[in-house]
Amino acid sequence: MNKACYIYLRVSTDEQAKEGFSLDNQKRACVEYAKNNGYQIKSAFLEEGKSARTVERPEFQKLLKAVDDNPVDSVIVYKIDRFARNVADFSRIRKEFRNKGVSLISIVEGGDVGNGLIGNIFASVAEWESEVNGQRTKDALRQKYRDGWWPGWAPVGYKNIRKNNKKIVVPDPITAPLVEETFNLYSTGNYSYVRLSKEMFSKGLTARNGKMFCDSSLQQLLSNPFFYGLMKWGGTEKTGNHTPLITKALFDQCQLTAAKHRQFLIRQRKHNFLLRGIVFCSEHSSRLTAEWHYYHHNGYKKDRIGYYHCYTPGGCPGSFIELEDMEKRVANLFKNFQFGQEFTELVRQKIRKHFEGGRKTFKSERQIIVNQKRAIEKHRNKLEDLLVEGVIGRDVFKRQHIKLQEQINNLNDRLVELEGRQKLDINLVDEVLALTRNIHQTYLEAPPHLKRHYLRFFFEGIYIKDKEITRVVETPVFATLRRQNHIIIRSHLLPRLDSNQQP
């Protein structure tokens, strides 16, 4: 009658697989040993990518449960360090096996290691090797970091490759442009984390688990300096050798945008009042809130009137001002501003460069999408061939075909969006040129979302008292342009101008 056994196989890294410890090699040796020694294999437990320093391994736990529920004559392993690299764990589990009458056999160590001193000696050697290997790994990672290479897994937008016998991080041709676009979109200030996650997910940018980025994960991505070339590891900072996906200027702009979002609490609102977060009460230095007052009979010319006012407890009568009056007074501030000729010419030069670079970027992004589409179409065509040849069934074909077609449709949508974005760039350039010619008129003709951009470009805050603008606080950008005479101000018509950012 054949004896019964379980076999346990483990590999922790690709390197071990290449060095002869692959699961296939281990299984071949264990099966051959079982056959030659009259064992019938009841079950095989295969563990991939797990360290033997701990017993908390899924397949190892299944083995222990199998030994408890259905004891066998022996458990066969290729080598003791495949089973355990910790003397305490090895001794404890070996004793449990012995109490159940189960022997532990290691092929490399020459047979039964469940009894006597020899098993503990081999386990001690395995534990020592594990500690030495662990220290060597840490030292190698430290040296890799010192040499300017990222020692860990590549973040989204990059991939790990082996080049000249060294593992390095390089931009991923598919996700790198999407990460760059994520930074560009967020820097505009028009996107919350939720909206940006949905937008980029529709374009193919996913977290490592293949799902849409959650708020915290997207925040971590947008605040990771690795993308502009700075590595942080082990409490130190160093400029890496990897290719940056963005500039330091774009990264800093995103951090400023995040700070402003925290200040202005950007979110979807039922009533999105134009001056919310910009106008303040001079008396209490608090932001003015806005609300509609509705009238439900015919005695009034309007069905509703909007008001800005201070929300300080106890009331602040001097802060109440009608919405239209307030927005008109703010719009009139722009009558006092005019860009200088030198700055206007500089903007035109930048626009010319923008057009030149934009055309190149458009062609590059379009080619990436086309290449992705071709690859998926090739996969779809191969799937159709497999159906015709009878290799796959109709259910599998339908499921995979629908998935591939959805991906193709998404890429087609991205192509349309890319074309539309190029047209939008032209409209934006026209808007910028108009702004340099006549700031006030451009502001009046701008849609609400552009008006908010103009307001935040010029003003940190506008202070109100008794329905009058008493003080305006300029942004650092506006202050710099003013000091360099790039913006001409008719100051005698302007309320007190303050570059101090504190109210």
Domain boundaries, the chain: 3-143, 158-264, 274-503
What number of CA atoms fall less than 13 Å from residue 262's CA on the CB side? Answer: 6
Confidence band for 498, pLDDT divided at 50, 70 and 90: low
- Using an 8 Å Cβ cutoff, are 93 and 68 in contact? no
Q: Domain spanning 158-264 has what CATH number?
A: 3.90.1750.20
Least confident of 57-71, 103-117, 132-146: 132-146
- Encode pLDDT of 204-224 as tens digits: 999 888 889 988 899 999 999
> Quick one: pLDDT at residue 76?
92
Fold of 3-143: Rossmann fold (3.40.50)
Contact criterion met (CB below 8 Å) for 499 and 458 = no
Active site residue 12: yes
Which of 29-43, 231-245, 423-437, 481-495 has the weakest average pLDDT? 423-437
For residue 426, count CB atoms less than 10 angstroms from its CB and return exposed for 0-12, middle for 13-18, buried for 19 or more.
Answer: exposed
From 118-132, 162-176, 339-353, the region with the lowest mean pLDDT: 118-132
Structure tokens at 139: 């030292």
Determine the Cα–Cα distance for residues 308 and 445; give it in Å rounded to an integer: 22
Note the pLDDT of residue 11.
80
Per-residue model confidence (pLDDT) at position 177: 93
CA dist 168 and 71 (Å) reads 47
Catalytic residue from among 12, 187, 282, 319: 12
Say what percent of the chain tops pLDDT 70: 78
Q: What is the reported pLDDT for 267?
A: 46
- Rounded Cα gap, residues 336 and 323, in angstroms: 22
pTM: 0.39
Q: Is 151 in contact with 181 (CB distance < 8 Å)?
A: no
Residue whose C-alpha is closest to residue 321's, from 498, 463, 492: 463
CATH topology match: 3-143 vs 158-264: no
The pLDDT, as a whole number, for residue 49 is: 66
